[in-house]
Amino acid sequence: MTIDQLLAIMPLARARAATFLAPLNAAMAEFGINTPARQASFLAQIGHESGQLRHVRELASGAAYEGRTNLGNVVAGDGVRFRGRGLIQITGRANYQAAGAALGLDLVGAPALLEQPANACRSAAWFWKARGLNELADAGDQVRVTRRINGGTNGLAERLALFSVAQRVLA
């Protein structure tokens, strides 16, 4: 993907696009996001989740995740400590542990590592592959991709709009 393609897909990323271009390309290559269908779907999802690369940390405090054992938040303060980070908003102690193990990072000890561009990109691509999203992207099922990332269809209209642009740009 080129800088022009990235900016055509995510115009609001203008100030950050150059910082994220190489790490995005590297992460997509590392995790098999290597066809136009996969890349369009991935870029649409991270575009929505990160506000077009403007946010690598969830804007909310994370207090709503406190005590959420389904996220592995079992220690007081885990909700805030392990709020969404990275381009796909990895959330919860259990997901930080899994991502850290897969990426060779101590994300439980240093959660803010997911805010660094390379780690934000790699964690998103790891999550993508670990959740079988390449296969859903191959099938063209953007609703199921969204559900697997978000747990519901929050932001579906924007995700679909970004996907449509990404398909055209990457064709």
* Residues with catalytic roles: 49
Q: Judge contact between 131 and 20, C-beta under 8 A.
A: no
Backbone angles phi, psi at 85, to 5 degrees: -140, 160
Tokens of 134: 């390449």
